[in-house]
């Protein structure tokens, strides 16, 4: 059983899709974050395929092997929801499970909100749901998102190094439990030396795959989505922001995102439960931002248990 690759024509772009397994029990669609691509789900795709499901992992537009829009400066987050719907339609998927992380969780949540009849359930890795956007205003100027929101700043910072070094540094920083914040006079890429070892669960071969896939499009679109385009404006969201499908949140307790304003409260104080009635939360005490790569067997088991507990009904 091997992962296969294809391209789908969706919204005028050729989107790259990785796929494995047969949909005997259903379909699971995996949605990556930054600085990731389909490859970040390699462990989960094989596991759910062996469990009887078809696994599909696209590269978002502008990422990996998918086309970059002609005008990435006009990127909108609602394009991602439209692309996801286009993938469902192109592959004739009536209904599927969504597994998402990082910024990929936002279009997944909104897809589940808008199209509950096409969503069996959703697994979020480290991203709680809130209809009210989380604020970063109270974080210092050196906070990486604030830095990368400045037009040209990240481009100049990244441009000092090759793609492999940039991906390496971001992976190292995002794997830590501390929020990436650069002191005055330093840039984000200065926060890790080339001699800093990769996480033990992320190999040089893995890094080479990421670097090779980022060479096609670079970071132009990824700096727009998710960093410079933060809100959803162009879609008609339901008046009721309650998500009516089952949701599993897998929360790494060493994930730096868990320290960002509002995240802990959304999970621990039950705020997310107010908007997601059918919610299960599982904590991974040592889990970092990339828990699906750090602890693949544990995350695979959690995903498979969740989807088997919610069998497909069309």
Are 237 and 289 spatial neighbours (Cβ–Cβ below 8 Å)? no
Burial of 87 (0-12, 13-18, 19+ CB in 10 A): buried
CA atoms within 13 A of residue 46's CA, in its CB half-sphere? 11
Burial 34-71 (b: 16+ CB within 10 A, else e): bbbbbbbbbebbbbbbebebbbbbbbbbbbbbbbbbee
Residues 63, 171, 227, 258: which is the catalytic one?
Answer: 227
- Token pair of 173 as six digits: 């920083």
Residues 102, 157, 206, 255: which is the catalytic one?
Answer: 102
Q: Please calculate the CA angle 69-70-72 and round it to the nearest 5 degrees.
A: 60
Residues 16, 32, 79, 289: which is the catalytic one?
Answer: 289
Clarify whether 117 is annotated catalytic.
no
Clarify whether 289 is annotated catalytic.
yes
Clarify whether 310 is annotated catalytic.
no
CA dihedral 57, 102, 77, 69 (to 10 degrees): -50
**Dihedral sign computed on CA atoms, order 262, 266, 272, 275:** negative
d(CA 238, CA 228) in angstroms, rounded, equals: 25
Query: Which of these, 125, 123, 148, lies nearest to 292 by C-alpha position?
Result: 125
| Residues identified as active-site | 102, 227, 289
């Amino acid at each position: 059983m091997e992962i296969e690759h294809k391209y789908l024509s969706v919204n005028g772009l050729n989107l790259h899709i990785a796929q494995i397994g047969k949909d005997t029990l259903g379909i699971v669609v995996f949605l990556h974050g930054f600085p990731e691509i389909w490859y970040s789900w390699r462990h989960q795709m094989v596991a759910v395929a062996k469990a009887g499901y078809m696994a599909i992992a696209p590269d978002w537009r502008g990422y990996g092997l998918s086309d970059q829009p002609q005008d990435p400066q006009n990127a909108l987050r609602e394009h991602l929801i439209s692309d996801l719907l286009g993938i469902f339609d192109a592959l004739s998927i009536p209904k599927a499970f969504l597994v998402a992380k990082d910024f990929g969780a936002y279009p997944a949540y909104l897809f589940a909100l808008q199209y509950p009849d096409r969503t069996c359930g959703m697994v979020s890795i480290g991203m709680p749901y809130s209809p009210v956007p989380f604020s970063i205003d109270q974080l210092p100027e050196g906070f990486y998102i604030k830095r990368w929101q400045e037009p040209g700043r990240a481009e100049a910072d990244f441009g000092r190094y090759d793609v492999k070094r940039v991906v390496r540094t971001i992976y190292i920083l995002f794997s830590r439990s501390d929020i990436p914040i650069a002191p005055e006079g330093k840039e984000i890429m200065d926060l890790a030396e080339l001699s800093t070892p990769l996480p033990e669960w992320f190999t040089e071969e893995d890094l080479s795959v990421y670097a090779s896939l980022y060479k096609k499009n670079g970071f132009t679109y990824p700096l727009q989505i998710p960093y410079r385009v933060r809100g959803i404006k162009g879609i008609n969201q339901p008046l009721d922001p309650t998500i009516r499908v089952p949701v599993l949140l897998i929360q790494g307790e060493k994930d730096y995102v868990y320290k960002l304003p509002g995240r802990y409260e959304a999970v621990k104080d039950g705020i997310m439960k107010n908007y997601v009635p059918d919610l299960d939360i599982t904590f991974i005490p040592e889990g970092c931002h990339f828990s699906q790569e750090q602890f693949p067997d544990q995350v695979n088991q959690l995903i498979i248990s969740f989807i088997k507990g919610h069998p497909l009904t069309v």
